[in-house]
């Protein structure tokens, strides 16, 4: 029951925060793109949370752990938070004042890309039972080198790239997209530190780095 309450609080807190950041700047609840984002973001989250609660509660507990132990990661998490705050507020203001409206087709295509990223994220959760939200080496953790991990070393971050870069387009805001373009830079900084932690503390990780060359995007990086 404690885990269930923690998961429910996480979901409701996120839903409330994102809703306020979108609809207050928009000055209205009649912001269809805002409702679209809330739906495709939180309904799959609720579904995945329910599946993890039934099948793998230890992994759900890890995904609800937010406190970073690495000092380098704390600054990166703070920058991510500022990016989301600024991006959502700008999207709401963009809708309110009609600065640069995008065609509805753009939002629909972006929503499909977002859901594809979510599906990839779900697959990563299925493949890797050690997938903590924070950067750490867990007790008895093993290197995963099959499935998506046989192609790139950090498929979860690739999934979040698809999701987060499509978010502002779901919201129909070019100005929000400009802010969210900071995410690839943020994720590269996070990855570099995370790989140092894993190479130092996870047995077999340096061999895995030699086996799977690409970190984030096949044939690119």
| Residue at 219 is within a domain | no
Q: Which residues pair with 173 in a beta bridge?
A: 101
How high is the pLDDT of residue 159?
A: 94
pLDDT at 75 over 90: no
Highest mean pLDDT among 53-57, 129-133, 145-149: 145-149
Residue ranges making up the domain that contains 150 = 2-211
pLDDT at 132 over 90: no
| Residue at 202 is within a domain | yes
Give the residue with greater pLDDT, 56 vs 98.
98
How high is the pLDDT of residue 85?
A: 96
- DSSP character for 103? P
How high is the pLDDT of residue 73?
A: 67
Of the ranges 85-94, 103-112, 211-220, which one carries the lowest mean pLDDT score? Answer: 211-220
The per-residue pLDDT for range 29-73, each reduced to its tens digit, is 999 999 999 999 999 988 888 877 777 777 777 666 666 565 666
- Please count the CA atoms within 13 angstroms of the CA of 135 that sit on its side-chain side: 25
Nearest to residue 107, comparing CAs of 54, 40, 18? 40
Domain count of the fold of the chain: 1
Structure tokens at 91: 């999207």
Q: What is the CATH number of the domain that holds 83?
A: 1.20.120.1630
Band the pLDDT of 1: cuts 50, 70, 90. Answer: confident
């Amino acid at each position: 029951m404690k885990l269930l309450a923690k998961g429910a609080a996480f979901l409701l807190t996120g839903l409330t925060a994102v809703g306020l950041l979108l609809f207050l700047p928009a000055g209205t609840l009649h912001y269809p793109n805002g409702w679209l984002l809330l739906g495709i973001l939180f309904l799959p989250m609720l579904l995945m949370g329910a599946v993890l609660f039934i099948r793998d509660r230890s992994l759900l507990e890890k995904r609800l752990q937010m406190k970073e132990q690495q000092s380098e990661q704390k600054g990166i998490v703070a920058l991510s938070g500022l990016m989301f705050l600024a991006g959502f507020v700008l999207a709401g203001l963009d809708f309110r004042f009609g600065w640069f409206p995008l065609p509805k087709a753009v939002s629909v295509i972006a929503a499909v890309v977002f859901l594809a990223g979510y599906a990839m994220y779900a697959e990563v959760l299925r493949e890797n039972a050690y997938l903590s939200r924070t950067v750490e080496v867990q007790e008895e953790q093993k290197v995963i080198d099959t499935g998506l991990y046989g192609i790139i070393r950090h498929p979860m971050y690739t999934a979040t790239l698809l999701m987060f870069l499509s978010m502002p387009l779901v919201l129909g805001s070019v100005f929000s997209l400009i802010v969210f373009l900071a995410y690839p830079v943020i994720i590269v900084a996070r990855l570099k530190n995370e790989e140092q932690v894993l190479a130092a503390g996870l047995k077999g990780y340096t061999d895995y780095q030699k086996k799977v060359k690409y970190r984030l995007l096949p044939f690119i990086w």
